[in-house]
A and B are shown apart, each in its own frame.
Chain A
């Protein structure tokens, strides 16, 4: 027999690296008030303190702790990215499932709408949405979800179309199962693997979008985030490199880890790539 899913998944060294880094980020985000000064906007000492000196990772132009900003920023960034992705997966999944299941005119209409969203450059669209909705955590979530659901819809539609003609779905129809029950009990459980993979990779994109929005000052006000830190530090790049480098490296490693884990999930879930 082939090895069980978990062994194949975690046994992959790249996945293991990604999982360890993500676990560190999640734990420090959860424990932020305990392991760092509880208010990231509080001034704790002199400005521009070097990292690895008096204040673990140094201070910024106003004397705020970079370490505190980093762990509190992880909270904001992760929360917004995950919630936005969940929204995109649920909405996109629903659109794709209905489109693929009913086909015909329903499919035509829903897919044209999806394409309409796909043709707008996503980041500019996100900026526009945040500007219209006024910057807040909610509007950032809405903006990211709005620009990232179309690929999910397309993937789910394809899976559902393939599964709809399978005999076990026909058997469910002949037993008199209702449409929603067929969709949720028979079809979607079998379409989960690609959805999980795409969803996990989407979190990485969402983090990048969120940091980019914050960098431009369109992020949630009064919430520390990595993008905001990079944005605020960029004017002092030559004098205080760590203000940009530290959150920048955090973003890089987190996005990389999510991609590694996502790829690993794909390898482990995709039976055609399954090497025993």
Chain B
């Protein structure tokens, strides 16, 4: 649940205000699609308080956060008006030297991708120690003690060992803890966290959020938390500011905004969060007996562990093999039957083998052992030529709509290509491409344009049209909405669901997000470390998870309590 219920604007004293932003405006370059990235934004954060700034991509939330630290990509993006008062001092006017002092000691920032934010060639301990070296006059031993103590503070296991570790030797969650330690080490008044959990697994995300809350209570630090995820807001925020097109459209206490949103945009964002209410099995009278269209038996896939020509060298010079890992068992003896016409979600965290499984099923990856039959045809061990007739049975929608369309090919050609390869005439294939574009909610005219003219959601629709062009029986969707904004996510999910029903597709939906799984699939398969740990109807799994890991996953969904609280008000998705 959300923490305290401080009231936003009736604080008479300004003593406990850490940050006060007064009608801050940030200009965008002349060629941008709007003139101001941030338009007259006014916000305050008090001591020990968490303010969540929520918005979709392009809302100006990150620019706003960077403006506070004056980390804007100048000279075109710059502050053009307003004040940023940090404990009464206007940061917007400070000179470069003053800014350095402020950045080090009084404000700290935690970035989204800890792997990029950390220097890969320095041990993490040294990177933090360096901050102390520059800003304090502690001795070397004292600095080290302080860093290790901070590592303990952020609950890093074995802090002495982590001190000497390089970023690549740590897990994603550990790296983010190191980043948080780095921001805490000088005990700043304000921490700005820009989507710090977006790149993390859901269980790790839950841990990091708990850690941030706990640290904040202990140190009384103010926290400005940028996110696009309303679940995260519900977990951590005291107060919420919703941003859209550079403006704050709603600003108030978390309980108020989350439960009784006033602005229609806030309401639409909250509605777009996939509900935790699981969908029930479709109770349509089943005509055909439930025969499996896809059968997986004893599938195995191992990465690495191959003898390479350099191994004899590694034996002579043991240092060489340091850091090289042994074989990774990506898929460990998986058995799975998918019934024709069903929608099955493969849920798991990164490294669980869900994507590898999908890639083996679609022939992008060769399984080491086992068998996969698609409507009776064995596919393991087929070469590319033998695969070709099967392409019209099984197709894939990819994760990143910005990478999955060839930027140099017109949309119409992208979609028509599959049908042409299956032997369709060029003009018939193009006519079908036009129909498909309309089917996925775009105009037929879009066929003449290039992918870069479309937004992420539109591109994903094009990706779906491409997969459907060969009239497949099975559609594998690999995290098809994880790269999209919340409001667009829902539209794409609904489109997939609708198309699936209309064409009687069998859908295998790969996701790390249980909510998304619950929204579109009647069945869930939970994967961990390449094994299936649980499988069952979505409703059953949500009501009564059998495996510990499933329980952890369910408990980690951010904003769970809030959604249950909201449950009565949101329409139940299941039919």
Q: Residues on A close to B: CB < 8 A?
A: 1-2, 166-168, 170-179, 185-186, 189-190, 276
Task: Tell me whether B408 and A189 are in contact (CB under 8 A).
Answer: yes
Report yes or no: B406 in contact with A174, Cβ–Cβ below 8 A. no
Residues of A contacting B398 with CB < 8 Å?
A: 167, 170-171
**Interchain CB contact under 8 A, A174 and B396:** yes
Q: Given A176-B387, A176-B391, A176-B421, decide whether A2 and B31 contact each other with a Cβ distance below 8 A.
A: yes
Chain A residue numbers with a CB within 8 Å of B196 are: none
CA separation between A185 and B421, bound complex, in Å? 13
Which B-chain residue is minimally distant from A2 (CB atoms)?
Answer: B31
Output the least CB separation between B73 and chain A (Å). 12
Residues of B within 8 A of A176 (CB): 387-388, 391, 418, 421-422
Closest 3 CB pairs between A and B? A167-B404, A176-B391, A175-B418
Complex Cα–Cα for A2 and B31 (A): 7
Chain A: interface secondary structure? helix
Q: How far is the CA of A179 from the CA of B391 in the complex (A)?
A: 15
Query: Considering the chains assembled together, what is the distance between the CA atoms of A51 and B362 in angstroms?
Result: 74
A179 CB to nearest chain B CB (Å): 8
Q: Which among A1, A176, A177, A276 has the highest number of chain B CB atoms within 10 Å?
A: A176
Q: Could you count the A-B residue pairs with CB atoms below 8 Å apart for me: how many are there?
A: 62
Interface of B, helix, strand, loop or mixed by DSSP? loop
* Closest B residue to A192 using CB positions: B408
The residue in A170, A178, A179, A189 that gathers the most chain B C-beta atoms within 10 A of its C-beta is A170
Residues facing A in B393-437 (CB within 8 A) are: 395-396, 398-400, 403-409, 417-418, 421-422
**Complex-state Cα separation, A186 to B407, whole angstroms:** 9
Whether A166 lies near B403 (C-beta < 8 A) is yes
B-side contacts of A173, CB under 8 Å: 363-364, 384
Which chain A residues border B29 with CB–CB below 8 Å? 276
Residues of the B chain whose Cβ atoms lie less than 8 Å from the Cβ of A171: 396, 398, 404-405, 463, 466
Cα of A178 to Cα of B417 in the assembled complex, Å: 12
Expressed in whole angstroms, the Cα–Cα distance for A194 and B406 within the complex equals 18
**CB interface residues, B 356-377, toward A, < 8 Å:** 362-364
Rounded to whole angstroms, the CA-CA distance of A189 and B450 in the bound complex is 14
Is B517 in contact with chain A by the CB < 8 A criterion?
Answer: no
CB-CB nearest in chain B for A108: B309
A176 to B363, CA, bound (A): 10
14 residue pairs A–B, Cβ–Cβ below 8 Å: A167-B403, A168-B403, A168-B404, A170-B398, A170-B404, A171-B398, A171-B404, A174-B363, A175-B417, A175-B418, A176-B418, A176-B422, A186-B406, A189-B409
Q: What's the Cα separation between A166 and B470 when bound, in Å?
A: 21
A178, B384: Cα distance in complex, Å = 8
In the complex, A187 Cα to B363 Cα: how many Å? 20
| Residues A1 and B403 in contact, CB atoms below 8 Å apart | no
A97 to chain B, nearest CB (A): 16
Among the listed A168, A174, A177, A276, which residue makes an inter-chain contact with B405, where contact means beta carbons less than 8 Å apart? Answer: A168
Task: List, in ascending order, chain B residues with CB within 8 A of A166's CB.
Answer: 403
Instruction: Output the least CB separation between B479 and chain A (Å).
Output: 11
State how many angstroms separate the Cβ of B310 from the closest Cβ of chain A.
Answer: 13
